[in-house]
Amino acid sequence: MHKVVVAGGSFAGLTAAFDLKRRLGSDVEVTVISKSDQFVFIPSLIWLVPGWRTESQISFPLAPSFQKKGIRFVHDAIARIEPERNLVHTTNGAEPYDYLVVCTGPYLNFAAVPGTGPEGGYTQSVCNLPHAQIARRRWQEYLRDPGDIVVGATQGASCLGAAYEMALNQAYALVRAGIRDKVQVHFVTPEPYVAHFGLGGIEGGEAAVTRLLEKNQIQVHLNVAVDGITPDKIRLSNGEEIGYRYAALIPPFMGIEAVRNSPGIGDAKGFIPVNDYYQHSQIDNIYAAGIAVALASPDPTPVPTGAPKTAYMSEIMARTAAHNIAARIHKEKLSPVPIVDIQALCLLDAGNTGVFFMVDRLQRKTRRRTIVMPGPMMHVGKFMFEKYFMWKSRGGRTYLP
């Protein structure tokens, strides 16, 4: 029996594990290793901060879902990968593998901009559940003594859609709290223009998002890096200083420490170089999907932005990796899916409205189709997608769109 280890239990990890077991059945033993025992629908963390969602509404335990499909679950942190011996070392042991799929998500590189982050810094984050819980507590404290807000992303950040969602949802939360007229909301971004998103923008996207920002009276600071942060001021690369009472900034991502501690596995930032089969470019029985994959920016900018990696992209990568591992085991034809050819889908929420974006290719010069649809139904659509995705993932129905 072939042994496949999936490192990570979020969007890419779930998809890879369930797809592998469904394709290979009794021919494979699938083991998932995750430092978290919960799946968290990370796009909804923006709603956790103002109290519009609870943890139980946007998460579920991983072990029961995997157990029902005959997948072994190991609740442990990965320490390093030893490809010479086909071993994944964890905090408490080691797991052998014939094939490894790395779906470990990001390391939040707050050290790139000193003063960022909820632990040792002055800014909040919605990149994971523990940080969103801290951000909620700080928000509750903030409402007792409000002042100006700074929201956005630092140089090198890649999750730029979430930065816009944070700003727009915080502005809407101020309206609901009855204090919007007392607060200036600032949006800080390394992008050269609104809705660049690290991929060269989307036709019609800049106008749609600009309207939302203007409607919510959000002051935008474009094409800037964050040079320094104190407990009450943020200094930008253009010389501006912004005072604040509450700040939330998306940091740049790196690969997790375990990959960076494993020579030959990742690049300088700890991301894994892959070919069009999501197979490691040098080690043929290691695959990767999601944020763990090395991806060059499709549109370099004066102030660096990271390449976008959405949940949808993570699913496609994981499905492709699972398909090709199964194909190798069954000696069938492999199926390439170049990263630049993956569609990028985004439902950008603005509290009570939103915008849907779709591009058929990451690289702007090769795109054939784009969709930009603003309106209140996009907020409803994101809410419904959350419910659908949680149902799909809890039941292992990763074959569904």
Question: CATH number, domain at 205?
Answer: 3.50.50.60
Q: Is 65 helix (H, G, I), strand (E, B) or coil?
A: helix
Write the CA distances from 57 to 18, 48, 138, integer angstroms. Answer: 22, 10, 21
- What are the φ and ψ backbone dihedral angles of 345, each rounded to 5 degrees? -115, 140
The pLDDT value recorded for residue 361 is 83
pLDDT in the model for residue 363: 74
Among 121, 129, 113, 141, smallest CA distance to 48 is for 129
Distance of CA 261 to the CA centre of its chain: 22
Domain limits for position 64: 2-108+253-338
Cα 362 from Cα 199, distance rounded (Å): 6
User: What is the pTM for the complete model shown?
Assistant: 0.95
Same structural domain, 96 and 123: no
User: What is the pLDDT, as a whole number, of residue 362?
Assistant: 78
Give the HSE-up count for residue 291: Cα atoms under 13 Å, Cβ half-sphere. 24
Query: Are 199 and 224 in a shared domain?
Result: yes
Asked if residues 202 and 370 have their Cβ atoms less than 8 Å apart, the reply is yes
Total of domains in the chain: 2
Within this chain, do residues 194 and 64 fall inside the same structural domain, yes or no? no
Same domain, residue pair 242 and 263: no
Do residues 16 and 140 both lie within one domain?
no
Give residue 248's pLDDT: 98
The structure tokens 């596995």 sit at: 265
350 part of a folded domain: no
Report CA-CA distances (Å) from 148 to 107, 171, 172, 247: 29, 11, 14, 9
Taking the C-alpha atoms of residue 137 and residue 134, their distance in angstroms, rounded to an integer, is 5
pLDDT recorded at residue 343: 86
What DSSP assignment string belongs to 375-390? SHHHHHHHHHHHHHHH
Per-residue tens of pLDDT for the chain, all 401 residues: 899 999 999 999 999 999 999 999 999 999 999 999 999 999 999 999 999 999 999 999 999 999 999 999 999 999 999 999 999 999 999 999 999 999 998 999 999 999 999 999 999 999 999 999 999 999 999 999 999 999 999 999 998 999 999 999 999 999 999 999 999 999 999 999 999 999 888 999 999 999 999 999 999 999 999 999 999 999 999 999 999 999 999 999 999 999 999 999 999 999 999 999 999 999 999 999 999 999 988 888 999 999 888 899 999 999 999 999 999 999 999 999 998 888 888 899 999 999 999 988 877 778 888 999 999 999 999 999 999 999 999 999 999 98
Which residue's entry shows tokens 């919960």? 38
- Same domain, yes or no, for 118 and 245? yes
Tell me the residue length of the chain. Answer: 401
- Would you please indicate which residues are annotated as catalytic (active-site) residues? 159, 346
Q: Tell me the one-letter amino acid at 148.
A: D
**What was the pLDDT predicted at 296?**
86
User: Is the CB of residue 62 less than 8 Å from the CB of residue 37?
Assistant: yes
Question: 88 and 14, same structural domain?
Answer: yes
